[in-house]
Amino acid sequence: MIAPARALAALLVVASPGLGGAPAEALRAPTPGAAGIGDPYFPLDGNGGIDVLHYDVRDAYAFASGRLSGRTRLRVRATQDLSRFNLDFLLPVRSVRVDRRRAQVRHQGHELRITPARPIPAGAEFVVTVAYAGTPASESYRGERSWLASPDEVVTMNEPHMAPWWFPANDHPRDKASFDIRVTVPRSKDVVSNGVRVSKKTHRGRTTTHWRAVEPMAPYLAFFAAGSFAIHRSSCNGVPNVFAVSRNTTSTPGQPARRAAAYWGRQTCTIVSELSSVLGPYPFSSMGGLATGLTVGFALENQTRPTYPYASGLQPGLLTHELAHQWFGDSVSVAGWRDVWLNEGFASFMAGFGVELRGGQPQQDWLLQTYDSVPDSSSLWELSVDDPGPARLFDGAVYARGQMALQALRHRIGETAFWTLLRTWVAQRAYRNGSVQEFEALAAATSGQDLTAFFDAWLHAQVKPARTAANGLV
C-alpha cells in the first residue's frame, strides 16, 4: 500500500514574546482531509489525509427488494493532522463512529464527510464504523450505475468505480488494504468473494459467508456475488482455487454448471502456471473465478477471482487477459487512472502471448498484420494511449494499440531484456502502484537504450507510428 502523499500540515508560526530571540515555536493545526486523493481524471475519487489499512465489510442483501444494509469498520491511519476527513459512499448512512464516539456526518452525493469528536493527529490509527442501508440500484456517480443484479443473482463488478455502491471506501487504487467480507443472504443462496472462505454460518434461515483477502487490494477489485452457484474447490500448486459457475446460466445446454466449474477451475490453474513461468510467482494466496448468469458485457479482474459473463462465453483468451491482470492491475496497480495502459495493454498483450505460447500465431506476425491492416485514418491512432482521458479510459485503442506497443517493444529490445523488464516491474512494485512514466524509465534502464522516441510514437503521438526498426516494426 502506498499512502496518499503526505500532506504538509499547516504551520502556525507563533512569534516569540519579548525580545531576546527565543526560537519561534511551530504549532500544527489540524485541517480537513481533501475530498479527492488527487487523480485529475476523477477529482473526487479517494480522499486526502487518510490511509485505510483494513476493511471489515458486513453486508446483508435482500433479493426481492434489492435492498442492501450493512456496517463497515475501517482501520485507518491519519497521514496529516485531521480536523475531518471524507470517505466515498453512495448509500444512505445511519450513523458514523470514530473510535466508538459518534461523529458528525454530512453526506453529499459520493462524499461522506466525517468530523470526529476530536481531531486526529498525523500518524494515529483509528477505527471508523459506518452503518448504512439503501437500494444500490438507484444510486449513480458521474452518470455511472454500477449495480448489477436480478431477483436471483447479484455481482459487484465494475471499473473504475464499484465500492461506493456496497461499502464506504477510500476509493482509489493508490490506497490498498486487506479485507474481511461477510455477506448475509437467504440460506438457499451461495456467496463468493475475494480470497479464501473463512466460515459459513446459518442462523434463522439466513447464511453469513465470511471471505478474507490478506494481500493489499484496491477497493474497486473487491467483490461479492450471491446466487445459486456450482462451486468447484481444488488446489493449484498449493494455492486454493475456487471457481463458481451460476446455475442460472441458461446458455450452457447439456453442460451442468458443476462440470463447467471444474473445467474452468482447471483452465485457471493451467493459465496461471503459464503466466507464472514468464512473469514470476503468482502474487496472491488464492485464485479462481466466477461466471455469472447475469447479463453483463464484460469480464473483470477482481483480485484473486475474476468475474466473467456466462460459462458458455468463456474461452482461454478471456481467462488469460483477466488472470494476467492479477500481475498487471491488481498486484501492480495504476498510480493514476491515466496509467490504464499498464492494465489493459499488458493484459491484452499477455492474452496474445498466450496464443503464441500454445503454438498459435506469433505476436510479431500479429503486430505486422494488424499494423498493415489498420489505415492511417483509423481512430486507433488518434488516441494517446498514455493519456486517454476519463471518457475513453477503456477505448479499444488502449487495448489494441497498447498491445501492439508492447510487442513492438519486445521486438525492439529483444527477448531477454523484455522479459527481464516485465519480471522486474512486477517484482519491484508488487502490491503497490506504478505510472507509465516509471515503466518507460525502467524499460530504458533494463535495455540500456534511449526509448523516448519509441514510446512517443507508440503511446503518445496521435498518428500511426512509422514502419521503422526503431519502432519495432522491421
In whole angstroms, how close is the CB of 399 to Zn ion at the nearest point?
Answer: 7
Q: Give the nearer residue to Zn ion in terms of CB position, either 347 or 473.
A: 347
Q: Give the nearer residue to Zn ion in terms of CB position, either 332 or 347.
A: 347
In whole angstroms, how close is the CB of 328 to Zn ion at the nearest point?
Answer: 9
Strand partners, 381: none
Binding part of the chain for Zn ion, among 61-69, 73-81, 175-183, 338-346 by CB under 5 A, reads: 338-346
Residues in region 101-160 near Zn ion by CB under 5 A: none
C-alpha cell at 394: 477503456
In whole angstroms, how close is the CB of 87 to Zn ion at the nearest point?
Answer: 27
Q: Give the nearer residue to Zn ion in terms of CB position, either 4 or 160.
A: 160
Binding part of the chain for Zn ion, among 124-132, 339-347, 368-376, 455-463 by CB under 5 A, reads: 339-347
In whole angstroms, how close is the CB of 439 to Zn ion at the nearest point?
Answer: 17
Side-chain-side CA neighbours of 355 within 13 Å: the count stands at 16
C-alpha cell at 342: 499498464
In whole angstroms, how close is the CB of 269 to Zn ion at the nearest point?
Answer: 20
In whole angstroms, how close is the CB of 347 to Zn ion at the nearest point?
Answer: 4
- The rounded distance, in Å, linking the Cα atoms of 33 and 280 is 38
Strand partners, 82: 31, 120
Binding part of the chain for Zn ion, among 215-223, 273-281, 341-349, 431-439 by CB under 5 A, reads: 341-349
In whole angstroms, how close is the CB of 343 to Zn ion at the nearest point?
Answer: 6
In whole angstroms, how close is the CB of 137 to Zn ion at the nearest point?
Answer: 25
In whole angstroms, how close is the CB of 131 to Zn ion at the nearest point?
Answer: 35
Q: In whole angstroms, what separates CA 173 from the centre of its chain? A: 6
* 82 binding Zn ion? (CB under 5 A): no
Q: Give the nearer residue to Zn ion in terms of CB position, either 211 or 349.
A: 349
In whole angstroms, how close is the CB of 377 to Zn ion at the nearest point?
Answer: 27
CA distances from 2 to 66, 135, 151, 248, 376 (A): 35, 32, 39, 40, 41
Q: Give the nearer residue to Zn ion in terms of CB position, either 47 or 304.
A: 304
Q: Give the nearer residue to Zn ion in terms of CB position, either 271 or 347.
A: 347
Binding part of the chain for Zn ion, among 74-82, 115-123, 160-168, 343-351 by CB under 5 A, reads: 343-351
Strand partners, 234: 241
Q: Give the nearer residue to Zn ion in terms of CB position, either 307 or 446.
A: 307
Strand partners, 226: 154, 191
C-alpha cell at 11: 504551520
Q: Under 8 Å CB-to-CB from 191, ≥6 apart: which residues?
A: 183, 185, 207, 209, 211, 224, 225, 226
Q: Give the nearer residue to Zn ion in terms of CB position, either 194 or 326.
A: 326
Contact 177, 57 (CB under 8 A): no
Place of cell 447479463: 295
Binding part of the chain for Zn ion, among 86-94, 97-105, 347-355, 421-429 by CB under 5 A, reads: 347-355
- Output b/e per residue, 17-36; b: 16+ Cβ within 10 A: eeeeeeeeeeeeebbbbbbb
Instruction: Name the residue whose CB lies closest to Zn ion.
Output: 347
Place of cell 448475509: 184
Contact 177, 218 (CB under 8 A): no
Q: Give DSSP secondary structure letters for 249-268.
A: -TT-TT--HHHHHHHHHHHH
- The rounded distance, in Å, linking the Cα atoms of 107 and 110 is 8
Contact 349, 407 (CB under 8 A): yes
By rule CB under 5 A, what count of residues binds Zn ion?
A: 2
Q: Give the nearer residue to Zn ion in terms of CB position, either 302 or 363.
A: 302
Binding part of the chain for Zn ion, among 47-55, 192-200, 337-345, 408-416 by CB under 5 A, reads: 337-345
The only residue of 347, 380, 422, 443 in contact with Zn ion, by rule CB under 5 A: 347
- The rounded distance, in Å, linking the Cα atoms of 453 and 326 is 30
Binding-site ranges for Zn ion (CB under 5 A) = 344, 347
